[in-house]
């Protein structure tokens, strides 16, 4: 199914987003600010992750009216989140002709055993991952794009770094293995052996991998790109900061020119306060989002 035309067209959109910044927005006005700042796509949400975290309660798919307003306002792709395993929310987003569905751990999971069969939808679907086994299970379910889970709404990059480094390290390990090692390795990480073989052959996954979860500064974006992310999602980091437009523009520049440190220094100068952020040890275990999903 990975070689089907439909899947190729889905991954094609992910290819077009490379080198760009996808920004969380909660209304049409923010969507316009994001587009004007150079976002390659926006994620339409009712509450950004930092507010979901602080307000609690069940977090669900956004109001279709909000999504439609944002779609009318911008010409760039519009993404939206559905709950893990919520096949009806995903169908509603597909009916809204959403450009990319994020089956996201930021929302409260709907199914404790199964993710969505992502091949079944016309809209491509992106999923989070913490390691290669999780990444390959999501691809086996039809994800056309992956992202690190990080820890959303914290403004703390440490978890995204851990997840990106883990995936990259595991990809490198596979490329050095002999063919006889692949089946056992696939069993141990809970991934289909065909996808492990694909990595052995190509040295990379069959879909792009972006960074998400905790990016708050231009330097954070550069860090994730250096670690191998092919684009970045910025959730709470922009609209929880004091100057969203200025910060958004700076992060766009830093993502494109992630190895040009004179430029990153320049765009980081005098940016108003970043989001306050959370140290991981401050988060109660039952409020950790990255462990949602299986």
Partner 1 sequence: MRIGVLALQGDFAKHIEMLESLDVEAIPVKKPEELAHCCGLIMPGGESTTLVKLLHSIDLFDKIKPFSQKWPVFGTCAGAILLSNEVANHPVQSFQLIDISIRRNAYGTQVDSFSESIRADLGSGPEALEGVFIRAPQIERLGDGVKAIAWHGDDVVMVEQGNILVATFHPELTESNRIHQYFVDKVKQML
Binding site for partner 1 (CB under 8 A): 5, 8-10, 12-13, 15-20, 35, 37-41, 71, 75-78, 94, 97-100, 122-124, 252-253, 256-257, 260
Q: How far is the CB of 99 from partner 1 (least distance, A)?
A: 4
Q: How far is the CB of 106 from partner 1 (least distance, A)?
A: 21
For partner 1, give the closer residue by CB, 98 or 275.
98
Q: How far is the CB of 221 from partner 1 (least distance, A)?
A: 13
Contact 227, 165 (CB under 8 A): yes
For partner 1, give the closer residue by CB, 126 or 186.
126
CA-to-CA distance for 12 and 144, rounded, in angstroms? 9
For partner 1, give the closer residue by CB, 41 or 127.
41
List own/partner pairs for 16-19 with CB under 8 A and 24 or more apart.
16/40, 17/41, 17/77, 17/145, 17/208, 17/210, 17/231, 18/208, 18/230, 18/231, 19/230, 19/231, 19/255, 19/256
Angle at 11 between CA 52 and CA 17, to 5 degrees: 60
Q: How far is the CB of 258 from partner 1 (least distance, A)?
A: 10
For partner 1, give the closer residue by CB, 77 or 153.
77
Answer positive or negative: Cα dihedral of 145, 150, 156, 162.
negative
CA-to-CA distance for 147 and 164, rounded, in angstroms? 9
> Residue 171 contacts by C-beta under 8 Å, 6 or more apart in sequence?
132, 199, 203, 204, 205
Which residues are part of the catalytic machinery? 81
């Amino acid at each position: 199914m990975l070689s089907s035309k439909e899947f190729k067209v889905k991954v094609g959109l992910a290819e077009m987003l490379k080198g760009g910044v996808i920004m969380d927005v909660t209304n049409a006005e923010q969507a316009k600010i994001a587009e004007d700042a150079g976002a390659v796509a926006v994620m339409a949400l009712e509450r950004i992750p930092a507010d979901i975290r602080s307000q609690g309660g069940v977090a669900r798919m956004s109001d279709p009216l909000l999504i439609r307003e944002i779609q009318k306002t911008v010409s760039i792709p519009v993404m939206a989140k559905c709950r893990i395993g919520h096949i009806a929310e995903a169908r509603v987003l597909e009916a809204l002709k959403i450009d990319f569905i994020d089956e996201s751990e930021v929302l409260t999971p709907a199914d404790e055993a199964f993710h969505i069969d992502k091949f079944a939808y016309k809209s491509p679907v992106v999923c989070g991952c913490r390691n290669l086994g999780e990444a390959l299970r999501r691809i086996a379910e039809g994800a056309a794009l992956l992202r690190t889970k990080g820890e959303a709404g914290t403004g703390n990059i440490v978890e995204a770094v851990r997840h990106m480094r883990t995936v990259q390290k595991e990809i490198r390990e596979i490329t050095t293995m002999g063919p006889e090692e692949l089946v056992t390795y696939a069993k141990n990480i809970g991934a289909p052996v065909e996808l492990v073989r694909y990595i052995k052959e190509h040295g990379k996954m069959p879909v792009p991998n972006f960074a998400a979860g905790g990016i708050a500064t231009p330097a954070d974006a550069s860090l994730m790109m250096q670690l191998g992310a092919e684009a970045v999602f910025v959730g709470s980091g922009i609209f929880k900061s004091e100057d969203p437009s200025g910060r958004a523009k700076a992060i766009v520049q830093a993502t494109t020119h992630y190895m040009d440190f004179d430029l990153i220094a320049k765009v980081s100068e005098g940016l108003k306060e970043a989001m306050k952020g959370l140290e991981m040890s401050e988060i109660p275990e039952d409020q950790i989002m990255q462990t949602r999903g299986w």
